[in-house]
Each structure stands twice: as structure tokens, then as C-alpha cells.
Structure 1
Amino acid sequence: MPLALLVVLAGVWFALPHLSGLLGLAKEETGAPESMPPSACHGSSAAPGHAAGAAFDGFNNRYWAPKDPGDGQGEYLECDFDQPVRLTKIVVFSGTSARTDEFLTQARPARITAELTAKDGSTSTHTIRPADQAGQQTFDVRGSQTVRVRLTLDSAFGTGKGRRVAVAEVEFFGHRS
């Protein structure tokens, strides 16, 4: 009996340094994700008055749009984080605004490739398919130790002469690494 007790105590002693990490992981998996604003962002190009920063300013009545009209294919927004984050969700407001009466004034993303770059340089890609509707759309996109996210436009709704693909707002959610 005393030997069994000693074995259990020894096991607890050696497990103590690892318990905080396990408890932290459990908290991340069960806790609500928090907003993860990027420290810097830029776009492949920008139409006058519609810089990349408009898609990350916390307002969904200003928007980013590429310089050239068209389907926007290959244009991108790229964001960096000062500290690695454990990304869990990306929220997208497509079009020029969350208001339905303004939403359709420009083209909107139909498919976006999200490329996540981790602290060690490894990358993972995720496809985001926003519906052609105004307002917030949330996508499960997970990445550990994420330091950069590139959102590349693959296709769009409502393209036409003089219309640019517009993104009103992008928000990242997750946990601090």
C-alpha cells in the first residue's frame, strides 16, 4: 500500500509542470475566442479611397477594393500579427457595406483562399465561400502559431463594367499563443 502511494505521488510530482499547459489547452478549446486585430495589413492594390486598412478598421461601411475593375482574381489582402495567435474564426462582411441597399453597388467575393503562415514558416490553406448576402458571415478557419494571413480573391459575384470586388470588413478571432 505505501509503495502504491509513493508511485502515485511521484507521478503527480512529474506531471505538475505539464498540467498548466494542458489546462490552458482545455481553456482555449472551450473558452470563447477573442478578437485578434492584426498589427499591419496591406493589399495587392487599392482603388482610390478604398485602401486595405478600410477592411480592418472596425467599421463595415467603408471597404477595400482592388485598383482595377473586374473579377479581382488574384488580388489579395494580407495581415500580420505582432505575436503568434491561435486562429479559430474569420468573419467577413462582403461588398461595400453591411446595409442591404448599399451591398450590391460593387462586386462581392464568391470564393477566397485564406493562406495562414505559422511562426515556423509553414503554411496552410483554407477555402472560404461567402454567400452573396449583406452582413456578417463567420467561417471556421484554424491555425496554430499564426503570424500572417493572406486572403486571395478567387472569384466574385456581380462583376461587370466598372465594378470592383469589395470587402467591407474582415475580423479574426482566436486565442493568444
Structure 2
Amino acid sequence: MLILLAVGIWFALPHMSGLFGLAKEETGKPESVPPTECRASSAQSGHPGGAAVDGFNNRYWAPEATGDGVGEFLECDFAEPVRVMKLLVFSGTSARKDEFLTQARPARVTVQLTSQDGKLTSRAIRLRDQAGEQTFDLRGSDTVRAKLIVNSAYGTGKDRRIALAEVEFFGRRP
């Protein structure tokens, strides 16, 4: 019986590291995986797409067009494939309450994750109309590109643009 157990363990050893790695991925805290490049469908002067991923929530991306902003998007590329697990969003022009309402804010956004093999995963998220961070579970394996598309917005009107202060991705690197 002991010999059979020893032989079983011997053959199982190469596969054990994968099982422990999977457990770590599911229970461990995801790390920040910032994109290397970010572009927008359009950008108002002084508010480029890169401002939404610069690590500061007092600068923001705003598209050129005023109004509801439907269809405007922010697209980010990763240098190497990442396993995306969470998305953190700061909606509006700033995380500060006194500056938050100065422009329109995304209400519903579709997040599209593109994997290395071209597979597209989509998830619709609903943002609350409030200052500060909002976190969403998001799953994407071998992700090389993420695209956030505005579907609707709060506080739209004349001379008001959609504003997105910060977007952060969390997950695992290979």
C-alpha cells in the first residue's frame, strides 16, 4: 500500500505546482497591471485618453464631442498578455466631490477584453453617479487589449463632455 502511494505521489508531483498556482491565483490579491498604451475615440484638448490611466485621479479623459457621449471609447493595450481580474474606475473629472459634477459622467459602459488569440469577452457595467472609486469583478485570460465603450451618461447637456478620471486594471502577469 505504501509503495502504491509513493508511486502515485511521484507521478503527481509535476502537476502539483500547477494546482498550487491555480489556488494562489484564485485566493491571492491581484496586482496592478497598467496598460502600456491608451488611445481614445477622440479627446478634448488637454484631456487625452492617457490621462485616464496615468495613476492620478485629478486629471481626466474627455472626448471632443459634447452631449451624451454614446459610442465614445477608451482603448488600452498591455505589453504582454495579462489575466485581468478586477477593474477600478474613478468616474467624472475628479475623485473630489466638489469637482466631480462639473462634467458628464459615464453611467453604463461596455468593457471588451481581447485575448492574445483574438477572443473577445464583453461585460456591461453600471457606474454609480458618485465621486470616488468603484470596483468591478472582470475576468479575462491572456488579455492584450481592453476597450471601454460609453453606452449612457449622467449629467449630459450643452457644453458638457463625458469625463473619466481614472481606470485601473488588476490581475496577474504570466
TM-score bracket, shorter-length normalisation: over 0.9
The DSSP-based 3-state class of the residue aligned with 2:22 is helix
Q: What is residue 144 of structure 1 aligned with on the other side?
A: 141
- The list of structure 1 runs, each at least 4 consecutive aligned residues, that deviate by more than 6 angstroms after superposition, is none
Q: What is residue 101 of structure 2 aligned with on the other side?
A: 104
- List per-residue Cα deviations over 1:39-67 (Å, max 9, x = no partner): 11111110110000100011001000111
TM-score (ref. length: structure 2): 0.97
The DSSP-based 3-state class of the residue aligned with 1:109 is strand
CA–CA separation in structure 2 for the residues paired with 1:145 and 1:66? 29
The DSSP-based 3-state class of the residue aligned with 2:60 is coil
Q: What is residue 47 of structure 1 aligned with on the other side?
A: 44
Q: What is residue 126 of structure 1 aligned with on the other side?
A: 123
State the AA in 1 paired with 2:54.
D
Q: How does 1:43-122 map to 2 (within 5 A)?
A: 43-122=40-119
TM-score (ref. length: structure 1): 0.95
State the AA in 2 paired with 1:14.
F
Q: What is residue 150 of structure 2 aligned with on the other side?
A: 153
State the AA in 2 paired with 1:167.
L
CA–CA separation in structure 1 for the residues paired with 2:113 and 2:12? 33
Unmatched 5+ residue regions in structure 2? none
RMSD (CA atoms):
0.9
Matching residue within 30, 42, 50 for 1:33: 30
CA–CA separation in structure 2 for the residues paired with 1:12 and 1:81? 39
- List per-residue Cα deviations over 1:24-52 (Å, max 9, x = no partner): 11111111111110111111110110000
CA–CA separation in structure 1 for the residues paired with 2:171 and 2:53? 16
- List per-residue Cα deviations over 1:59-97 (Å, max 9, x = no partner): 001000111111111111111111111111100000000
Bigger shift: 29-38 or 11-20? 11-20
Task: Determine which structure has more spread, i.e. the larger CA radius of gyration.
Answer: 1
Q: Percent identity?
A: 66
CA–CA separation in structure 1 for the residues paired with 2:17 and 2:74? 36
